[in-house]
Copies of this chain bind each other. A is one copy, B any other.
């Protein structure tokens, strides 16, 4: 029989079971990391039989990938921020702000990000998901570079897509270092330094 929300009692229960598994997954992944977390433990915590998790998720990877969705969305938001500066100074300050935002977004979910970092190395599926984020950022940055080149603000003897890639990697890796606590510098300092190198280069003369 159908209820107000269009879901039968059976469907509601199933949905709840799925949710329980996701919640349990979150706890277990955060506690154990991706590798050490087992389906047995997740099912135990969700009060479901061993086989149940496999009804809702093809495997551990898929369960985890679903838990990543929130963060993936946030990253896409950051990637698609507008960038149309009219002066070099404006470009610099916008870039600095975006670097900060990118790293801050990761820090907002620091513990989950640590597990994601681990999972990228282990799970094909997670790796693919992260690659998509990466590709999106690189595409956006390429667009931004082409824009400032067309506007005459930037050097045209540079291959936009290549530099976009390099610049993104610089940001991503620094982000991981900060998330993992391997770089302790203040976020503002990091953003400033990266933005400076990017807009102006390391050397003095042209």
Contacts and interface: CB of A to CB of B under 8 A. Distances in A.
A102 to B, nearest CB: 13
A141 to B, nearest CB: 11
Contacts of A158: 193, 196-197, 202
A109 interface: no
Given A159-B189, A199-B202, A203-B88, A166 B154 contact: no
Interface residues of A, number: 43
A185 interface: yes
Q: How many copies does the complex hold?
A: 2
A76 interface: no
A150 to B, nearest CB: 13
A56 interface: no
Interface of A: 88, 91-92, 120-122, 127, 145, 148, 153-155, 157-159, 162-163, 165-167, 169-170, 172-174, 177, 183, 185, 189-190, 193-194, 196-206
27 contacts: A92-B203, A121-B122, A121-B127, A122-B122, A158-B193, A158-B196, A159-B185, A162-B174, A162-B183, A162-B190, A162-B193, A162-B194, A163-B202, A165-B173, A165-B177, A165-B183, A166-B174, A166-B194, A167-B170, A169-B170, A169-B173, A169-B174, A170-B170, A197-B198, A198-B201, A199-B201, A201-B201
- Counting from the closest, the 5 A-B pairs by CB-CB distance are A121-B121, A201-B201, A169-B173, A200-B201, A166-B170
